[in-house]
Structure 1
């Protein structure tokens, strides 16, 4: 170690306070970068493992392949494992009592399939030949069915078909086909007899849809017995998962004349592999913006720790110059200081980030498992890339933060450095202030403002720190809100667990049944919705922009300049309507008024524009509260249009009640009370309405079973039960990962911003001890000193806000533009966040100034005047 570096090291040890503050700042910065990268990696790993636990591990599916194509797939060098799967078909479950699940569904896997798919064996063993099966343990408890291990069963296996559907045959994702009276309108065709020996039982597979009409039965797919004309499904586990897999699989399918290739998008998204180029570009651009925010925040924190201390170190550097130190040696002295601080801070910062994330995970693991029902644990997952990235970003930020002060320090002459005159500007023009300041706020404010102008670099460093903090806070707040909003656009908006459709039946019986369903023990929330389809002629000028563009290209739908807008009239039960009205700020009593019909109109929707490949949020109709809509309907028999009623718009909203989905372009949801619906439809159209019940339950599977048992007690009509809990669970998983990630990020950014401001201001105040002592020595009272500090706080805050708000809006717009590659919604400035940011700046600045000045007040005037180091 050369003499200059030794002197620098001793200086660091001597000025322990400044050194410790700088080290803490770097540790916070490194911990933040490490925490952010690790947080994202860990959540991706959790949902990757959970998806595999739920639906199996596979990446590419080649559908309907023959023997030759299967051999080509198995020999493809990019494939690690090939799963052979075949849907054998459906067989009637003799003795079954569940009217919505009358079949056995027989599916075959090879040995790889039994390993890669989540199949939980309850008893016995897995099949080893195509004449052996394992059955779902739910079958044995269904009515009079009583299968046991060792039984030999003969099944008539065929394909589900219906004359009333265009589909050739149905799979497990299609529920049992019924008509409006509840009668089954499907049958089994191409039936063949197959005999099996039951060798075990399995738990109901998680990947079996809750609405599936068949209980899962698994058999063995023997590859040696697959004939040249046989058709199977080939699911592939790849050796390496990257974005090239899409093009490779599609090219492979074309080369080998495979008609259909599918991808496991749910699993691949957690590998960070997305087929949609627009979405990928959105992620990349967003990642770049957020990484830039992190780097700027880190640089600002560390830079201020170096920059503000240059004045204090100027005498030390001047003494080095006076004994022969060159510009290069002085510059390297500061860079060496940065290296020493980095060697200490980076390992501690990385370790702190990992420990902090680990502690966070230990607290939220039970919550995540409880809320989402996931079985996997959230663990700290470190990828070499994330640690290397954290190190590189930290080294880069320290280098940039140290290089600029180092370059400036190298230019200080020995005399100026020893006399410490470089930072002090005393020309009249430099420290000139407005007379209005003195008249309005007094001499203390004038002295404070003159001091800021005199110590321009310290003042600029403090303002810069405040501006960066404002920009970081607002940018991250805007980012979190927009990221959650964008995620919401991609989801189906499922806000319930179970949907129950009630078919034609006796009114009294249906009402009794509905009360029984909504009062089930496990049901936590319910909503009963009765729907009637209608329409309303609306002026072209009031149409949504997207629909208006379509009409401009083809105006055949217009009649006298008006467009036939589809109106879904939906009546909520009284309790649900009251809660919904309170939520959006509508008048509940007005909605129930029979004399003057009123309705809530959902005037905003979300849809995917496949032509533009974007998720779009748009207005459905440009109207206002108080406007009347004249409703009509079309007679089914005559095709004649007949008037219904005139309804006043009581409120406009983008919120939909539980069970109501998003409208398509050209239609709206009109939410009314039951009384209003009865007035609109009258007894004439009551039979054309249909009722649905939407439920949230703490045990969706148990609730579904209870409801299905109720159907057996109906003497007329029918129930259709759709359990969408798993799909809703997936949506909540995506929202949760974004919420935890973004709110964790905003907490870290807030912490680094507060630390930045306190570090900057406290260091600046400490360096002014001699100056404050001089003011006190010439007669400044404690009250006057407090006034001066308060006015300086105001000057700092006002200046920071004037610069920070416009820059923040520009950064927010950049984030918005990056999202518009995949989404489409208007840019809005978050006024609430702006108010919070401005208030926080003045609170934090005042607290930092008061905290720092309180310590200065305790200094002895004589000792402070003699002091040369902090």
Structure 2
């Protein structure tokens, strides 16, 4: 090791606090990079393994494949493995006690199929011969047919046909049992062939079996050698290499060999990184790039300042080295050597810390993940060489960028400038000139504080840079978190209640009193609902509808058909909701007014893009005329009836209603409307004005409970199977837990960003104040009192905060819009600013700067004036 590097090591040891802060900063940076990549890889691995557990490991399934096509598939260069299967047919299950599932459905796999498709045995073994089968355990538990391993099955196997069905050809497993108008089964099995099988195993119900299918699945062995040449097969393919053009390549290959009926495993491909939607792919890549950029910028800001301050502290030593012959190359390399030492210590610890933190997090949330996603496979920390290499490379780049400018600066330090300390201090009158208003408004302490900042411009800019980066980091990550929740909500049919109870009986009042008094009930809402129609002018229709092909053809006399979901609330609930929406309760109670929920969320099946948009273009106070659909034979001679005739129906006017307020919130019990629908919330008195019959209106009770299962049992005991009951607790819980999981990761990310930001600010300000000991001693020596000194520090903190916010907030808005634009490839909604987070940032900046300045200056106050004046560094 040369003398320059030895001096660098000694300097790191002498400045233990700054070195430790730098090392911790790099460790946090590397841990975040490792954590982000590991979380992404681990979740994709979880979803991939679960998809294989549910649907099997295959990428594309070709149906009804002939021998020539099979040979072409096997010879294709992209084919890794070929799995053969065959849907043999249906047979009546003799002795079955389940009238809705009278069949067994026989399917066969070859040897590869048993390895790649999820078949979970309860007992016995898998078939090895054509006359051996495994049966679903539901045949024993639900159909109550007493089959055991070793039993024989004699089956008449054929095809399902239903003359009255709209489906042409044989019915498959995705078609439920067909009934006629009298409730009798209206299908039969044809082309029957007798076969006998031996049961060699019992399996759990296959997860790929459709719940409403009429046949219990049984599986046999498929011997390729005994298959007839003209007998079609199903061929599942595991591909060698998955690329972004997989969908196009598969379509092209299927057309080439003459196969029209095929299916791709969309879920497995998605979790393997192959996405059909270009928008979703662009959103994924763009957001990942933004996150990595945020981490990189935050890390560089912390580490760069540490190295910049280090060079400032070492400037005299570097000058002395230059005076005895040190070259520019040696001085520059001393800074890079310092970065290398920091990296060698920090990067391995950071990787271990990141993996350890993720492992601990997974340990605590694994059970929650399994409940939320209904997964049967555990969430494991998945580490790939690529993710680790990426973390290391980005960390090395981060340290290099952080060292580069300080290294260049170090190489340019001359012996005279370093010894005189003229590089960082500007003493010209113009450089330190301040406005007279500063002294008049804030006093001499504020003027001195501002001159100090201008005098040490580089340190001042370094501190401002740290604050600006911290602001941008926090607001960007906070905005990213809010947008992820928004994106998630666009994909969910949000349920805000646990239990829905249908009403409409004479004893409902007593029933309601009994239920509401139940101790488990935390909230309830009684809503009377009706579905009406309104014809809306074309220019007021939602934008996505107007963009549809053939929109003009959907219009009737220039108007579009909207479904109106009218909801009447009890006065107590309506009053609270009106207050939340900013509407007048008196108008809602006494007039024909409604609160209009004007936001709809939908997914575009063609582009895969999720969108939030305005449901309709109306203004407050505008009216909508409501209609009820009527039969052609109803009210034909009534002169007071106003009708709008379409190809499908006639409409009878029931009255007009005005929009009191618009809102994006819905009361408990009301789901978000679909595109072409409107949710309108009115009072019970307004609802009655429309004269709707009992058949046209349905009352419901919506409940939230601490124990929904127990509550449902109590309701069933009270109502004696008279009322309709739907328990949506699991659906609601799944939505809430998805948000919880998202919050755990994103707010954990925010916490790490906050730690980096605070460490950055504290390190920069405390070091800057420490380097000004001589300056503060000079001020005290000419008569500045402790009180005046404190005021000067306070004003400096304010100047720092104001300047940082002037730069930080606009840059944050730019970063937020970049994130919004990146997500816009897959999700469409209005841009919004996180005002609460902005308020937190404004307060936090002044608090953190103030605390850092006071903490650092408290140490300076204790310094002896004479000793401080003797120190070399300024």
**Contact 1:372–1:732 (Cα < 8 Å) also in 2:** no
Offset at 1:781? 1.9
Matched ranges for 1:15-414 at <5 A: 15-93=15-93, 96=96, 98=98, 100-142=100-142, 145-149=145-149, 150-155=151-156, 157-159=158-160, 161=162, 163=164, 165-166=166-167, 168=169, 170-176=171-177, 183=183, 186-190=186-190, 192-195=192-195, 196-414=197-415
Report the CA distance between 1:88 and its aligned residue: 3.4
Q: Choose which of 845, 850, 871 in structure 2 pairs with 1:867.
A: 871
Contact kept in structure 1, 2:592 and 2:656, CA below 8 Å: yes
Structure 2 CA distance, aligned partners of 1:71 and 1:510? 68
1:636 to 631, 634, 638: 631
2:533 paired with 1:535: yes
SS of the residue 1:835 aligns to:
helix
C-alpha distance in 2 between matches for 1:47 and 1:842: 44
1:11 aligns with 2:11: yes
Partner of 2:778: 774
Query: Structure 1 residues 501, 71: closer, same or farther in 2, change over 3 A?
Result: farther
Q: Deviations over 1:452-472 (max 9, x none)?
A: 000000000000011111111
Assess, with a 3 A threshold, how the Cα gap between structure 1 residues 618 and 137 changes in structure 2: closer, same or farther: same
Q: TM-score, normalized by length of structure 1?
A: 0.87
1:736 deviates by: 6.6
1:58/1:235 contact within 8 Å kept: yes
Determine whether 1:605 maps to 2:600: yes
Is the aligned partner of 1:834 residue 2:829? Answer: no
Measure, in 2, the Cα distance between the counterparts of 1:139 and 1:517.
Answer: 39
1:267-303 deviations in Å (ceiling 9; x for gaps): 2222222122232122222222222222111111100
> Hey, what does 1:567 align to over in structure 2?
564
More off after superposition, 793-802 vs 63-72: 63-72
| SS of aligned partner of 1:779 | coil
Contact 1:85–1:233 (CA<8 Å) still a contact in 2? Answer: yes
Q: Which moved more, 1:652-661 or 1:686-695?
A: 686-695
1:646 counterpart residue number: 656
In structure 1, what is the Cα distance between the partners aligned to 2:46 and 2:55? 14
Q: Is the 8 A contact 1:762 1:848 kept in 2?
A: yes
CA distance in 2, matches of 1:155, 1:695: 50
The partner residue of 2:761 within 757, 762, 768 is 757
Question: How far does the alpha carbon of each residue in 1:657-683 deviate from its partner, in whole angstroms, 9 at most, with x for none?
Answer: 788665444332345678866664633
1:512-532 deviation digits (Å, cap 9, x = unpaired): 999999999999999998764
Distance in 1 (CA, whole Å) between partners of 2:223 and 2:657 is 65
Deviation at 1:190, TM superposition (A): 3.1
SS of 1:309 mapped into structure 2: helix
Q: How much does 1:729 deviate?
A: 9.5
Q: Choose which of 545, 548, 555 in structure 2 pairs with 1:547.
A: 545
| Aligned 1:466-865 pairs, distance under 5 A | 466-489=467-490, 491=491, 493=493, 495=495, 532-548=530-546, 554=552, 557-559=555-557, 562-569=559-566, 581=577, 585=581, 596=591, 599-609=594-604, 614-624=609-619, 627-638=622-633, 639-649=649-659, 651-655=661-665, 663-671=673-681, 680=690, 682-683=692-693, 686-687=694-695, 738-865=742-869
Please state how far the C-alpha of 1:543 moved relative to its aligned partner. Answer: 2.4
* d(CA) in 1 for partners of 2:664, 2:389: 44
**Structure 1 residues 220 and 661: CA distance shift in structure 2, 3 A:** farther
CA apart distance, 1:474: 1.3
SS in 2 for 1:554: helix
The question of whether the paired residues in 2 share the 8 Å contact of 1:242 and 1:273 is answered with yes
| Deviation string, structure 1 residues 302-360 (Cα, Å, up to 9, x no partner) | 00001123221110111011111122221122122112221222122222222222222
Q: Measure the CA separation in 2 of the matches of 1:590 and 1:837.
A: 40
Cα separation, 2, equivalents of 1:555 and 1:252: 38
Change in CA separation of 1:725 and 1:777 when aligned onto 2, cut-off 3 Å: same
Give the conservation status (yes or no) of the 8 Å contact 1:479–1:812. yes
Taking the aligned partners of 1:520 and 1:235, their CA distance within structure 2 comes to 54
Q: Decide which moves more: 318-327 or 610-619.
A: 610-619
Choose 506-515 or 247-256, whichever is displaced more: 506-515
Change (3 A) 1:146 1:575: farther
Task: Name the SS for the 1:86 alignment partner.
Answer: strand
Q: Secondary structure at the match of 1:537?
A: strand
Answer whether contact 1:532 1:689 (CA < 8 A) is retained: yes
**Match of 2:258, SS?**
coil
Which structure 1 segments of 5+ residues have no match?
none
Q: Deviations over 1:46-95 (max 9, x none)?
A: 22222222332222222332233233323434333323333334445555
Instruction: Summarize the Cα distance change of 1:696–1:202 in structure 2 as closer, same or farther, 3 Å threshold.
Output: farther
Q: How far 1:613 sits from its partner (Å)? A: 6.0
Write the distance in 2 (CA, Å) between the matches of 1:649 and 1:224: 72
- What is the deviation of 1:720? 12
1:358-404: CA deviation from partner (whole Å, max 9, x where unpaired):
22222222332344443332222211111111111111111111110
Q: 1:89 to 1:247 in 2, by over 3 A?
A: same
Moved more, 392-401 or 244-253: 244-253
CA contact (8 A) 2:178 2:187 kept: no
Provide the C-alpha distance between the structure 1 equivalents of 2:214 and 2:512, rounded to a whole number of angstroms. Answer: 23
> Distance in 1 between the 2:703 and 2:155 partners?
40
How many residue pairs match? The answer is 854
Runs of at least 5 residues in structure 2 that lack an aligned partner in the other structure? 634-648
Q: Per-residue displacement from partner, 1:590-612 (whole Å, max 9, x unpaired)?
A: 8996x756554332212344666
Answer whether contact 1:5 1:336 (CA < 8 A) is retained. Answer: yes
Instruction: Give 3-state SS (helix, strand or coil) of 1:407's partner.
Output: helix
Which deviates the most, 444-453 or 651-660? 651-660
> 2:680 & 2:268 partners in 1: Cα distance?
38
Q: Displacement of 1:255 after TM fit? A: 1.9
1:757, 1:648 → 2: CA distance? 55
> Deviation per CA, 1:89-115, whole angstroms, max 9, x where unpaired?
444555555555454333333332232
Aligned residue for 1:826, secondary structure, equals: coil
**Shift in CA distance, 752/817, structure 1 to aligned 2, threshold 3 Å:** same
Whether the aligned pair in 2 keeps the contact of 1:496 and 1:694 (CA below 8 Å) is no
Distance 1:10 1:174, change over 3 A: same
Q: In structure 2, how many angstroms separate the alpha carbons of the residues matched to 1:497 and 1:171?
A: 36
Paired position in structure 1 for 2:421 = 420
Alpha-carbon offset, residue 411 of structure 1: 1.6
Paired with 1:644 and 1:309, the residues of 2 have a C-alpha distance of 79
Whether contact under 8 Å (1:123, 1:200) holds in the other structure is yes
Contact 2:135 2:218 in 1 (8 A): yes
Please report the RMSD computed on the Cα atoms of aligned residues, expressed in angstroms: 4.3
Moved more, 379-388 or 267-276: 267-276
Residue pair 2:59, 2:269 contacting (<8 A) in 1 also = yes
1:136/1:217 contact within 8 Å kept: yes
Q: How far apart are 1:852 and its partner, in Å?
A: 1.6
Query: What is aligned with 2:639?
Result: none
Moved more, 149-158 or 54-63: 149-158
- The 1:827–1:174 alpha-carbon spacing in structure 2 relative to 1, beyond 3 Å, is farther
Query: Is the contact between residue 632 and residue 645 of structure 1 (CA under 8 Å) also seen in structure 2?
Result: yes
| 8 Å contact kept, 1:91–1:103 | yes
